[in-house]
Amino acid sequence: MKTTEDFNFKDKKAIIRVDFNVPLNAQFEVTDDSRIVAAKPTIIKVLEDGGSAILMSHLGRPKGKEDKFSLSHIVKKVTEVIGVSVKFVNDCVGEEVEEAVKNLKNGEILLLENLRFHEEEKAGNEAFAQKLSTYADVYINDAFGTAHRAHASTTVIAQFFEDKIVGKLLQKEIESLDKVLHSKEKPVTAVIGGAKVSSKITVIENILPRVDHLIIGGGMSFTFIKAKGGKIGNSLVEDDKQELALEILKKAEAQNVQVHLPVDVIAVKEFDNDAEQITEPIDQITDDRMGLDAGPQSRSNFAEVIKASKIILWNGPLGVFEMENFAKGTIALGEAIGEATKNGAFSLVGGGDSVAAAKQFGLAEQMSYVSTGGGAMLEMLEGKSLPGIKALQ
């Protein structure tokens, strides 16, 4: 794959698929600009070489043209982050766009309106992709968050360019995952948390041959504990996945992977932040209680494994971190990963909830890399080939 360093953009128009699907508040202000910040290095490289950048993105899931999903709301923030005034056009195809593109000078940035205002985008329509391709000399994909979707702007468009380039952010995402999945350094530890085993089965099966330690936390741990004969009270469980849980443990043992499950939990009677808490062994939870966070001994056990690791993948929280009183396990885990990173380990955080937790508790800066794409990262961890990346090869 060609990278931005392999190419000189002088006098070239580059159309860049960015992921500006950012959260907005009721006043349509951007509340988290990290995806815009992440796209900046690629845009700046194009401009500094003496080229111009045409940015295209989606925002939300609009049904037709809806003002609340207009990218016009983010122009000010993009201008502020990139440090260059951003021009905006009210559509992504059509005469107005053609005119704006024709007038675009070297060193300038043009942001197109939300791609998903046209249903051809999600349908992967070839004519729509070709129309987008006519605006530029070069195509850059820098949207990891949508690389697992075969949409017009992420995949189909690439065939119309001789020069199709992987952006700096996309390159960093691929390299970080590669570092985890094909590391020569040992030990490698994966922390897989979250509510359900079912959503992470393929990830666990694909990473088993590549890791030395597997920490299983969060709601999914109860399915494993119950499968092993433990009493989990009213805790979340997938009864139909118990056989599978035992199978995963067997596979791990056969591949010399040490699996670490929680040994204690913070147990409560109601799913409520202010519920009265007690600490109980995870396999002896009182009938009318449920576990909502990892207990102190589990936190300490996990921290020990983390601190001895050279490569760490964190995907999923250890408890209901959205409720302040049940966030301690997730925070302790993040702090242990931060400490290991400071001491030379490589840490990758990915997946919506773990990224949200890392940001919420001020831990993101302590990690080696925080992924910008939840679904895309999961699919790469599952060993799938992503259409957006394949199209650049």
pLDDT score of 18 = 97
As assigned by CATH, the class of the 2-170 domain is alpha beta
Is 122 a residue of the active site? no
Phi, psi of 88 (to 5 degrees): -130, 140
**Do 2-170 and 183-381 share a fold?**
yes
- 20 annotated as ligand-binding: yes
- 339 annotated as ligand-binding: no
Catalytic residue among 196, 210, 251, 269: 196
- 71 annotated as ligand-binding: no
- 353 annotated as ligand-binding: yes
pLDDT score of 368 = 96
> CA 287, CA 269: separation in Å to the nearest integer?
9
- 291 annotated as ligand-binding: yes
pLDDT score of 383 = 86
pLDDT score of 351 = 79
User: Using an 8 Å Cβ cutoff, are 128 and 91 in contact?
Assistant: no
pLDDT score of 197 = 87
Mean pLDDT by 10 residues, the chain (393 residues): 96 98 95 94 98 98 95 98 98 97 98 98 98 98 93 97 97 93 93 90 91 96 97 96 95 97 98 97 97 98 98 95 96 97 96 87 94 84 90 94
CATH H superfamily, domain 183-381 = Phosphoglycerate kinase, N-terminal domain (3.40.50.1260)
- 35 annotated as ligand-binding: yes
- The Cα diameter of the chain in Å comes to 70
Catalytic residue among 231, 251, 352, 359: 352
pLDDT score of 202 = 87
Is 50 a residue of the active site? no
- 59 annotated as ligand-binding: yes
Is 35 a residue of the active site? yes
- 21 annotated as ligand-binding: yes
Phi, psi of 112 (to 5 degrees): -85, 155
Is 196 a residue of the active site? yes
CB atoms within 10 A of CB 57: 28
pLDDT score of 169 = 95
What residue segments make up the domains of the chain, in order of their start?
2-170, 183-381
> CA 167, CA 16: separation in Å to the nearest integer?
8
Catalytic residue among 13, 17, 35, 172: 35
CA-CA-CA-CA torsion sign (75, 76, 80, 81): negative
- 149 annotated as ligand-binding: yes
pLDDT score of 250 = 97
